[in-house]
Amino acid sequence: MIPPMLGTTAPFKGLTVAGLFAGIGGLEYGLHAAGMNTQLLCEWWEPAQAVLQHHYPKIALHDDIQTLEKLPAADIVTAGFPCTDLSQAGRTAGIHGAASGMIKHLFELLERSSPQWVLIENVRNMLVLDRGTAMEYLISQFERLGYTWAYRLVDSRFTGVPQRRQRVILVASRSDDPCGVLFADDAGEPQEDFYRDNAFGFYWTEGNTGLGWAQDAIPTLKGGSGLGIPSAPAIWVRDAPPGRAIVTPTIEDAEALQGFPRGWTEPAQQRGRASLRWKLVGNAVTVGVSAWVGHRLTNPGTPSLDRSSPLPQAARWPTAAWGKSGERWVLDLSLWPERHPYQHLLDVVDAEAAVPLSLKASTGFYNRLMKSRLRYQEPFALALKAHIEHMARS
């Protein structure tokens, strides 16, 4: 079910939101589905601004967090800050890189305001990059400001979308317990037979050290490939004939795989080339993830903290942890807090309408794969070779 657009005149009774580093509004869109009302959006990139202005015309839009003097009196402040310097596909310059380092402005603003909640989202690599320096910085800043904090790594597939996307969700508050938001649910990861075996996602820009292989799903949508090319992943449709067995989803498919309505990023084409839509979608927050957090923010549950154990100093950051006043605890939880009805990959992507992977892209990937020591299914390699031969003849 698609919630009504943000900025409508319908009355709201829920919490209010200020969205920093808003992108195309993935966090705010999901929170809106939970009954919340966004008061402010802050986003600097013009293609993203075009999307926000089109869908959220009645909401104030600020263009640069560096010049934002103060926050409105909002209950929730969101910050899906740039992952460019944190992700494996990015520069991995770290939390103090030119892009990801912008998060420091959030803490400057929090020194002068008192929201009930702060909500942050970012890539899994943030837990391990530079021995966890990024997480240590975030947690230390929250503790300095007197916040209780909790974070959890989640997989977007729990929301029902066929995209294997693992992201860190961090919630902090001076007045409330974030553990009741993030730790009250744990459905456990499904068994392998949960997924169909008729389609497999992979990244054609890889092939040397990895495939991004995903059964009945695509690997993580990302803003750009390791080659710096905004690109779609590819899909092997196992029983399809040559020429139709190796295909790529459309940008509209990608929007649906993130939980947005199809065509959500089309307004971005007013401010740049159409391919930028892939970067916008790849950098977004999966709508279902933020909707789950939003529902728990308004209705916290009871976490099972008796399974917590102290987090040793200088230890690696686990997949779930919480703390306050310098005390830190680890909790063993799955990446699936809930288990929504699953949309199988070929129910979202129309394999007949999908674009075949080009001859050049297929050949480059196949050559890298053959030179690598990666393990892969032999029928996949045969299908890829047959696809290349078909495309060459065509």
Q: Choose, from 83, 214, 293, 384, the residue flagged as catalytic.
A: 83
Please check the confidence at residue 96 and state whether its pLDDT lies above 70.
no
Domain residue limits, the chain: 16-190+284-330, 192-260+343-393
Please check the confidence at residue 144 and state whether its pLDDT lies above 60.
yes
Q: How confident is the model at residue 85 (pLDDT cuts 50, 70, 90)?
A: very low
> Cα–Cα distances in Å, from 379 out to 113, 245, 383, 385?
58, 11, 6, 10
Averaged pLDDT for residues 46-71: 96
What CATH number has the domain spanning 16-190+284-330? 3.40.50.150
More confident residue, 226 or 261: 261
Q: What is the pLDDT of residues 234-257, one digit of tens each?
A: 999 999 999 999 999 999 999 999
Q: For residue 80, with 0-12 CB atoms within 10 Å meaning exposed, 13-18 middle and 19 or more buried, which class applies?
A: buried
Please check the confidence at residue 381 and state whether its pLDDT lies above 70.
yes
Please check the confidence at residue 3 and state whether its pLDDT lies above 80.
no
> Cα–Cα distances in Å, from 393 out to 240, 388, 390?
18, 9, 5
Please check the confidence at residue 142 and state whether its pLDDT lies above 70.
yes
Q: How far apart are CA 165 and CA 56, in angstroms?
A: 26
Give the pLDDT score at 313.
86
Please check the confidence at residue 307 and state whether its pLDDT lies above 80.
yes
Mean pLDDT of the chain: 90
Give the pLDDT score at 352.
92
Q: How large is the C-alpha radius of gyration of the chain?
A: 21
Q: How far apart are CA 232 and CA 255, in angstroms?
A: 11
Annotated catalytic, 83?
yes
Q: How far apart are CA 289 and CA 306, in angstroms?
A: 25
Taken as a whole, the chain contains a residue count of 394
